[in-house]
Amino acid sequence: MNFEHTDSVRDYQNRLQAFMDEHIYPLEKQVSAFHHDPKSDWQIWPGFNDLKAKAKEAGLWNLFLPKAYGAYSPGLTNLEYAPLAEIMGRVLWSSEIFNCSAPDTGNMEVLARYGNENQRNQWLNPLLKGEIRSAFLMTEPQVASSDATNIETTIKSDGEDYVINGHKVWSSGALHPNCKILIVMGKTDPNADRHLQQSMILVPVSTEGVHIIRPMTVFGYNDSPEGHGEIKLNNVRVPKENMLLGEGRGFEIAQGRLGPGRIHHCMRLIGMAQRSLELMARRVNERQTFGKTFKDYSSIRQELALSKCEIDQARLLCLAAADKMDKEGNKAAKDLIAMIKIVAPRMACKVIDRAIQIYGGLGLSQDLPLAHFYAAARILRLADGPDEVHMYQLGKQIAREADY
Ligand SMILES: Cc1cc2nc3c(=O)[nH]c(=O)nc-3n(C[C@H](O)[C@H](O)[C@H](O)COP(=O)(O)OP(=O)(O)OC[C@H]3O[C@@H](n4cnc5c(N)ncnc54)[C@H](O)[C@@H]3O)c2cc1C
């Protein structure tokens, strides 16, 4: 395994780092304060479009987009994108500036891979240009959604249209003022084989019958302006051509959607953890108790040392998963993908928690990114598929391999 960065990746890293230093870090507190102020709920920070234009001009746009997806792609592999996503992960809102934020990245991949020409023209192109945003509606409150075969929303054929009825929750991005398109998962044929019952269909947010009931909060954060919506779909009527790929192909699309985008969160979590370690390291040089500087306490040195070990282990695992995906495809890399999805959020939670502790009360406050980092990392033990489900599948595979 050789994970040495190529010259081209080093160039991207340098340019992205310079952009973060010049345009993102100086605004970090201001933008976060805007996002957390209830008066600006569901509004976009006024400088966002300027920042996006600058990122585009700097050639730091759609960096996540695999080469196969055409003209808008800078052509980076997963292995090449990983260190860049890590840099973006250091500031929670920054990936949107580079048009690399979830859930749009996964949705763009779905449209690029499975959308027909009309669907791509109507929805993929404005997403690639950063003009609109999107949401992905799978989870439902009334069923255990970590098993997607449980999803109950109905998509019924009616003449030239489909009529959709269902109740969704945790639809990230749905409250964003620029969210224009929803990818909805539901059943077209409840009697078909278990994995052929589901389909995915495009629903413009403005369609009659789409009711965003409320934003959900996570540890009290509403994550404005994207939010996580609870949504009712009441007799939502869309034309037949909105179906993605075809009836019964929902699982096939979900598998594809869960490809490269699935480890983007892991890549960013490594950035979050790395920044937390750097903040920790800075603090221990400044602070004193009981006549000693923090850095001179053995227990604190252990916290720093363990954090570094754990971050570096996770980073290598993440690069190994990315490399295998690039070389042998997502199917061959599925165990490594599961492994990093188990490891990265837990590692980040642990490291961020240590940083919070070392900062004392300040660590929990709005003056540092740590509290929000912790919430974001903890979310990803669920939102990226619950840990237990990844372990359930990985464990099954390990047992199967030994059963000879
Ligand atoms: C902030 C946030 C954002 C999200 N964004 C989106 C989004 O944009 N779109 C979307 O569709 N969904 C989204 N989700 C939903 C997320 O994908 C689901 O919460 C997740 O799939 C789990 O489904 P559930 O909540 O129904 O939990 P359940 O399926 O009820 O599972 C609950 C728990 O049961 C246990 N469990 C389940 N299966 C197993 C097993 N095989 N072995 C052992 N234990 C098990 C696990 O502990 C699991 O956490 C988001 C969630 C959050 C919190």
**180: pLDDT strictly greater than 90:** yes
Q: Which residue would you say has higher pLDDT here, 234 or 384? A: 234
The model's confidence at residue 84, banded by pLDDT at 50, 70 and 90, is very high
Q: What number is the average pLDDT over the span 243-252?
A: 95
Q: What is the CATH number of domain 133-247?
A: 2.40.110.10
Distance of CA 317 to the CA centre of its chain: 18
pLDDT, the chain, mean: 95
**72: pLDDT strictly greater than 80:** no
Nearest CA to ligand 1 atom 2: 383
Q: Where in the chain is the domain with CATH 1.10.540.10?
A: 7-101
Q: What number is the average pLDDT over the span 120-138?
A: 97
Q: Where in the chain is the domain with CATH 1.20.140.10?
A: 258-402
Q: Which two tokens stand for residue 40?
A: 């600006």
36-40, 257-261, 286-290: segment of lowest average pLDDT: 257-261
Instruction: Give the distance (Å) from ligand 1 centre to CA of residue 148.
Output: 10
**260: pLDDT strictly greater than 70:** no
Nearest CA to ligand 1 atom 51: 383
Of 105, 137, 143, 146, the one to substitute when testing ligand 1's pocket (max ligand atoms within 8 A of C-beta) is: 146
CA distance 107 to 127: 9
Q: Where in the chain is the domain with CATH 2.40.110.10?
A: 133-247
Instruction: Give the distance (Å) from ligand 1 centre to CA of residue 140.
Output: 10
Question: 161-172 and 179-187 as β-strands: parallel, antiparallel, unpaired?
Answer: unpaired
Helix (H, G, I), strand (E, B) or coil at 120: helix
Instruction: Give the distance (Å) from ligand 1 centre to CA of residue 163.
Output: 26
Q: Which two tokens stand for residue 365?
A: 């406050």
Which CATH number among 3.40.1280.10, 3.10.20.340, 1.20.140.10, 3.40.50.2030 corresponds to the domain 258-402?
A: 1.20.140.10
Instruction: Give the distance (Å) from ligand 1 centre to CA of residue 143.
Output: 10
Are the beta carbons of 396 and 302 closer than 8 angstroms?
A: no
Nearest CA to ligand 1 atom 27: 144
Residue owning tokens 């979310």:
379
Instruction: Give the distance (Å) from ligand 1 centre to CA of residue 168.
Output: 13
Q: Show the ligand 1 pocket: residues with CB < 6 angstroms.
A: 103, 136-139, 144-146, 170-172, 218, 228, 379, 382-383, 385-386, 388-389, 392
Helix (H, G, I), strand (E, B) or coil at 234: strand
Instruction: Give the distance (Å) from ligand 1 centre to CA of residue 383.
Output: 6
Of 138, 139, 153, the one to substitute when testing ligand 1's pocket (max ligand atoms within 8 A of C-beta) is: 139
Q: Which pLDDT score, from 0 to 100, does residue 255 have? A: 79
The model's confidence at residue 351, banded by pLDDT at 50, 70 and 90, is very high
Nearest to 139 by CA among 36, 254, 236: 254
The model's confidence at residue 396, banded by pLDDT at 50, 70 and 90, is very high
The DSSP element (H or E) to which 376 belongs, if any, is helix 370-379
Q: What number is the average pLDDT over the span 74-89?
A: 95
- 32 CB neighbour count, 10 Å cutoff: 18
Nearest CA to ligand 1 atom 22: 146
Question: Exposed/middle/buried for 4, CB within 10 Å: 0-12, 13-18, 19+?
Answer: exposed
CA distance 384 to 289: 40
- Cα Rg for the chain, rounded, in angstroms? 22
Instruction: Give the distance (Å) from ligand 1 centre to CA of residue 170.
Output: 9
Q: What number is the average pLDDT over the span 41-64?
A: 96
* Residue 383 identity (one-letter amino acid): A
The model's confidence at residue 258, banded by pLDDT at 50, 70 and 90, is low
Are the beta carbons of 349 and 374 closer than 8 angstroms?
A: yes
Q: Which pLDDT score, from 0 to 100, does residue 1 have? A: 76
The CA-based dihedral angle spanning residues 217, 219, 220, 224, taken in that order and rounded to the nearest 10 degrees: -50
> Of all residues in the chain, what percent carry a pLDDT higher than 90?
91
**129: pLDDT strictly greater than 80:** yes
CATH superfamily of 7-101: Acyl-CoA dehydrogenase/oxidase, N-terminal domain (1.10.540.10)
The model's confidence at residue 74, banded by pLDDT at 50, 70 and 90, is confident
Q: Which pLDDT score, from 0 to 100, does residue 384 have? A: 86
Bridge partners for 183 per DSSP: 136, 202
Q: What number is the average pLDDT over the span 192-219?
A: 97
Reported in sequence order, the residue ranges of 106-227 that DSSP labels E, i.e. its strands, are 133-137, 154-158, 161-172, 179-187, 198-204, 210-216
Q: Which two tokens stand for residue 192?
A: 């078909």
pLDDT, tens only, 269-304: 999 999 999 999 999 999 999 999 999 999 999 999
**Backbone φ and ψ of 247, nearest 5°:** -60, 140
Are the beta carbons of 111 and 35 closer than 8 angstroms?
A: no
pLDDT, tens only, 130-173: 999 999 999 999 999 999 999 999 999 999 999 999 999 999 99
- 332 CB neighbour count, 10 Å cutoff: 11
